Amino acid sequence: MKILAKLTAVETKLLVREPGAAFTLLIPLFILVVFGGEITEGDTVLLPMAVTIAIGLVGLYLLPTTLATYRERGILRRLSVTPVRPGNLLTVQLLLQLVLTAAAVALLLFVGIGVLGAHAPGPAGFLAASALGTAAMFSVGLLIAALASNGRSANGFGVLLYFPLAYLGGLMQPADRMPDILASIGRYTPMGALRQSLHGVWSGGVLAPLPLVTMAVYAVVLSFVAARYFRWE
Amino acid sequence: MAVIEVQEISKRYGDQTALRRVSFSVEEGEVFGILGPNGAGKTTAVECVEGLRRPDSGAVRVLGSDPLRQGSKLREHIGVQLQNTQLPENIKVWEALDLYASFYARPRDWRELLERWGLADKRGARFAKLSGGQKQRLFIALALVGNPKVAFLDELTTGLDPQARQTTWDLVKRVRAEGVTVILVSHFMDEVEELCDRAAVLDKGAVVALDTPQGLIEGTDAEYRMSFRLVNGSAAEPSRPLESLDGVTSVSRTGDLVVVAGRGDFAALVTAHLARERVLVRDLRVDKRTLDDAFIALTGRSSDA
């Protein structure tokens, strides 16, 4: 317990010192504020978009880059010759990245609703959609971390995946202005499914099952594959 | 008492043999060297002892435990500095020591280690800002912070300047003086000669020699050289050519400089011969036989090849 507390304290400090962490907080906020001028109380697009970007940035960039770098630098290996199992470090990192995601989302809600005046979503639907979306995006990140040979290539995979996924998910251009075929593919991407679900939550209707199932399938299948292929060194 | 016992361990990767029936044992309080050219299997051997790798066959006992089956008990009592490992760039020196100290049941006071390893003024510095020597000292401090009975140091002076190497050597001697058994993996002959009580020489995955550094030097009977200059006027050729003396392998002469190579006691025979023949020489020099020569004789390669 003492060890986990110390590990968490040190990893938290490292995360705070990591510029990438600040970016994942600030980029979605920046997007929200820049486009937030035209936000109305009835808006159902902007906050879902910003929240999806925030979760995507942590899941696709920060998480895989951090984990692959830890492996590349031999930090997991070094831990495996101490009384502490390196799995503890992965667990602590995963939890911290979840906390960071929650903080980024909370910041967006605070600014979007409190300052810019958008309306608040139904809490149950919002939590369900965000939790599934985070699970799906993190599993993509874990898969990248498992397959990338080092931190830089994990980062490269992240970039390579982020932009097409963001585009397909309707984050760069509204889905109804995208070619039909791309828009339909987009519905089955993790980001597209999350944006759609959040859009549904803000619109106040019943949550459509398809995007939720899509995200759940990503989460289960990809984390399984990631766990299967993860290498400690 | 043997702290480490390695019996006939073998390890293959695909069709590549990394270790071939390697055996050695390390006594308590010893500095034991594992020496060999790159790719000789040194690191694999040590990793089997540390419990990081599973040998295909053979047995390893460290402090009476099996590193694979009783690893959790064992890891409390060993300290390891691994080759090619880093710390997170932004971790501060004191944070790393404090963190690693928390992993062990009876750690040393890391503040004292900080002083002793000359890192006190770098206490708050981030890992990325440390020099190569400082990083290396931090790694050794981390290997010792758990108060280990056995410390493994792998290629600890690679990439250090001569000054930093000397400092690191002095520190290893202090570790030894504290009674910690040290396993030193190295491809530097001078390092092994300076620090180790005994060393195993590995080549192509097998132990080709195991002795004290002096024993290795004497045991291999490597060729060495002597040279001298003939004093003007005594240039008369000796009646019996130097080549015919026992142990001499070659003689070369450039102007008044004569270089003789040979094995065993040839240098003593040559000097006695010159005296008998009343040949006057100056600048007589007999090269010291080094572990380098022994190493080349054992493996057919130079250590930094």
Taking CB atoms and an 8 Å cutoff, what residues of chain B touch A92?
none
Can you tell me the distance from the alpha carbon of B19 to that of A168, in angstroms, rounded to the nearest whole number? 52
pLDDT at position A130 is 96
Q: Which of A6, A18, A78 sits opposite B85 (nearest CB)?
A: A78
- For residue A91, what are the β-bridge partners? none
- The answer to whether B52 faces chain A, any CB pair under 8 Å, is yes
- Its ipTM equals 0.87
Question: Which position has the higher pLDDT, A173 or A87?
Answer: A87
CB contact A14 to B (< 8 Å): yes
Residue B305: the pLDDT is 45
A2: contact with B, CB 8 A cutoff: yes
Backbone angles phi, psi at B211, to 5 degrees: -170, 180
**Residue A43: pLDDT over 90:** no
Per-residue pLDDT of chain B (305 residues; tens, 9 = 90+): 789 999 999 999 888 889 999 999 999 999 999 998 888 899 999 999 999 999 999 999 999 999 999 988 899 999 999 888 899 999 999 999 999 999 999 999 999 999 988 899 999 999 999 998 899 889 999 999 999 999 999 988 877 888 888 888 988 898 899 999 999 998 888 888 899 999 999 999 999 989 998 888 887 777 888 999 888 755 556 556 888 888 898 888 888 888 999 888 888 888 888 888 888 888 899 887 777 777 777 877 765 54
Q: Which helix (H) or strand (E) holds A18?
A: none
Q: What is the pLDDT of residues A217-231, one digit of tens each?
A: 999 999 999 999 888
Cβ of B75 and A3 within 8 Å?
Answer: no
Contact yes or no for A159/A165 (Cβ under 8 A): no
**pLDDT one-digit tens code per residue, A193-209:** 999 999 999 998 778 99
Look up residue B82 and give its two tokens: 């691994």
Q: How many Å apart are CA B11 and CA B295, to the nearest integer?
A: 23
End-to-end CA separation in angstroms for chain A: 26
* Cβ atoms of A132 and A217 closer than 8 Å: no
* pLDDT at A81 exceeding the cut of 90: yes
pLDDT band of residue A134 (cuts 50, 70, 90) is very high
Q: Is residue A212 very low, low, confident or very high in pLDDT (cuts 50, 70, 90)? A: very high
pTM of the predicted structure, to 2 decimals: 0.84
Chain B residues with CB inside 8 Å of A2's CB?
Answer: 102
Q: Is A231 helix (H, G, I), strand (E, B) or coil?
A: coil
Residue type, A165: L
Chain A CA closest to residue B48: A81
Looking at residue A119, the DSSP 8-state letter turns out to be: P
